[in-house]
Structure formats: C-alpha cells, structure tokens
Amino acid sequence: MLNKNFDNYVLPTYGRQNVSFTEGKNAILMDSEGNEYIDFAAGIAVCSVGHGNERLTKAICDQVSKVIHVSNLYYIEPQGECAKKIVEMSGYDMKCFFGNSGAEANEGAIKIARKYGEVDGTPKRYKIITLEHSFHGRTITALKATGQESMHNYFGPFPDGFVYAKNIDEIESLIDDHTVAVMIELVQGEGGVQPLDRAKVQALAAMLKSRDILLMVDEVQTGIYRTGEFLASNLYGIEPDVITLAKGLGGGVPIGVVMTSKKNIFAPGDHGSTFGGNYLSTAAANEVLNILDELKQSGELDHILIYFEEALNTFAAKHPAVFLEHVGFGMMRGLRVVDADTLAKIINAGREAGVLVLKAGRNTLRFLPPLTITKDEINQGFSRLENAMKRL
C-alpha cells in the first residue's frame, strides 16, 4: 500500500526499505504504524540537530511567514549572516557561495579550480586529482570526480581532466604541468568511513601550497561538527583553498556551500543559482549553526561524542567475530563487518528491532546520529542493536 505511488510514479533509483516515517523527536522517529526507532543515521548526516527541533522549527516558521524567496539579484540578509557565521566558525579567511546540495557545492569548487587554472598566456591548468573510493556527488562532473569507476557506467562522455590516486601517497606522482587542484574527503564517507592519516594530509597540504596547486576539501559529510570540530579541516590542522559543505548545515533543509580563500576568483556572471542561499535555507542554517555552536561551546558536544564512542566500543566488543575494526571520528563512525551479507542482515534486523543504521562502502556499518542525541537515546539504540544481533 505504502509503495503504490512509488511503484507507479517514482523512478527506482534507490533500494528502499519498506517503512515510512511520520514524525520525530530528536533521535527518535515514529513510523506510519506507530513503531518507534532510534535514528543513528540522521538522514545521511543531515538532521544534525535532530528531528522536530523546536528552535529550528521556530526559525523556519518565523522566516517563511515573512518571505521564503527572492532572487540573488537582491541582498538576502540571512545569506550574508550565514556566510559570516560559517567563515568565522571555520577560522579561515574565505568567502562563500550558496547552492542547494553537496554535488552542486562540488561543481562550484571544480569551477573555481578551472578558473584558477586559466592564466593568460600560459597553457591552462585544468586537471583535478581525486582519490579512489571517494564520493563527490551525482551530477555528471561530480560523478566523474568520484573515484569509483563502477558509478561511471552509462553516463559518459564525461568532462575531461579527472585523475584518480589509489591513495594519498600516490597523489604527488600524478601531478603534471596541467594539474590545478586536488580534491579529497578527510574521512571518506560513502567510501566506507575511511579517515586519511593526519600527518600525511598535512604534508600533502604543504606540498600543494609550494606548487600552487589548490587543496579542495569536500566536507559535505564531515563538516558542521560531524567529526567533533566545526570542520574536519580544523581537526586535521590544515588550511585548504576550497571547502564544500552541505549535509548537516540546514538540519534537513537543502543547502550547499562552496567557500574559498580565492576571494576574487568569480566575477558577476561566472556562477549562480536560482534557489541558492534563499531566505528559507539560510534562516534554517543560521539557527542550526547557533544551536551547534552553543552545544560545542558548552562542552556538551565533546561529552556526548565520547559517550557515543564508548557505547559503540562496548557494543562492538561483544561481537568480536562480526566486527573487525572501529573507524571514524566524532559522530561519524563505522564498524567493519566480517562480510557484506552479515552487514545487510544487521541493518534489516536493526530496523525490525527499532534502530536505524547505515551501510557504507562494501562492508562498513555506519553511524551518523544527530549531534544532539542524548545518552538515553544512545543507550536505547545500542540495546536495540544488541537485540538485533541476537536475531541474526
């Protein structure tokens, strides 16, 4: 019954689980049959301040009762405020451009790199190096930037100029006279919760700076306190040239940002977006940033991150034959599962037991809970996951 409209009218691009949700409160979701779930997924790292957040709801309602949208041909006050907050919270001397999604933010980053590589009188630098197992989005160009060949079936021809490094060590050897940028996730999300080595990232950043090659960090998933700091770039102690954000920023309202230290790279007409940075999305983002900034400053965020980590360790330790390794930072965590089949069973049994968890890569059980999750919700979630393990 639930599926009829989907079967008849929605293109089948997702393998959907047979459940639909009607309301939520922080990390708890209710389905259409009245069952309750602990949400360890938060969309996919989107619902950073939980479901039904009263402050976010009020900020959105207050804004939309006044004005939802005007075009970017006018000054949109909350957009300016949002850019200021993001820049100040990041600690980087940058300017922002607003779009509506992660892929779009990365498109903006790629356009910045392409324009940066265009200097009068010299051969254009245009090549962008990305990593294998990366994920940068679904538009044709962001998909080409994504270092997973299997996702490139059917959709070519693609824009030229993307080069894939097997790992961070291989990047330098792939640089040539046409290389303008390197784009990386500091913790690969879709690729399987795979953090890069901090010292290697710092060495890479220094090497790229010395060769005038842009370091572009895709923080669509890692950004907005997901790893415990405002940006994973802060955690890694680097100063990228370009950073992209999206998932957690709007608390569920679509928004994407590309920010860069190359503040004069674009002139009017070089780039744009109809919806990007409108009243609705930036009013939402401003309140999300207020809420999370307070959570961080009060010490509560750091406290709950540690609590979650310990709960996850305790859970994993009970099943040493199933979970091989614990990976990730902050509220971006994974357990490597012995095989993909067992992982699929855990996700399904988890849902039946009332807890929502995700898959990443081939065999990683992924946890991306709301950053506002409480201890009770964490305890409840792991106790249900424990029940699910008994049913495997």
Residues lying near ligand PLP in the complex (CB under 6 A): 101-103, 106, 135-137, 185, 189-190, 218, 220-221, 246-247
Please give the Cα distance from 355 to 89 (Å, whole number). Answer: 33
Shortest separation between residue 271's beta carbon and ligand PLP, angstroms: 17
Shortest separation between residue 304's beta carbon and ligand PLP, angstroms: 22
Nearest-CB residue for ligand PLP: 102
Shortest separation between residue 327's beta carbon and ligand PLP, angstroms: 16
Shortest separation between residue 142's beta carbon and ligand PLP, angstroms: 7
Shortest separation between residue 384's beta carbon and ligand PLP, angstroms: 26
Shortest separation between residue 120's beta carbon and ligand PLP, angstroms: 33
Shortest separation between residue 191's beta carbon and ligand PLP, angstroms: 9
Measured from the CB atom, the residue of 113 and 246 that comes closer to ligand PLP is: 246
Measured from the CB atom, the residue of 185 and 377 that comes closer to ligand PLP is: 185
Retrieve residue 243's tokens.
Answer: 């950073």
Measured from the CB atom, the residue of 234 and 380 that comes closer to ligand PLP is: 234
The alpha carbon dihedral of 88, 90, 91, 92 has a sign of negative
Measured from the CB atom, the residue of 46 and 312 that comes closer to ligand PLP is: 46
12 preceded by a cis bond (ω within 30 of 0) = no
Please give the Cα distance from 168 to 190 (Å, whole number). Answer: 17
Measured from the CB atom, the residue of 102 and 330 that comes closer to ligand PLP is: 102
Measured from the CB atom, the residue of 48 and 106 that comes closer to ligand PLP is: 106
Q: What are phi and psi of 334, to 5 degrees?
A: -140, 155
Measured from the CB atom, the residue of 15 and 268 that comes closer to ligand PLP is: 15
Contacts of 29 (CB under 8 A, 6+ apart): 21, 23, 36, 37, 39, 51, 356
Please give the Cα distance from 8 to 357 (Å, whole number). Answer: 28
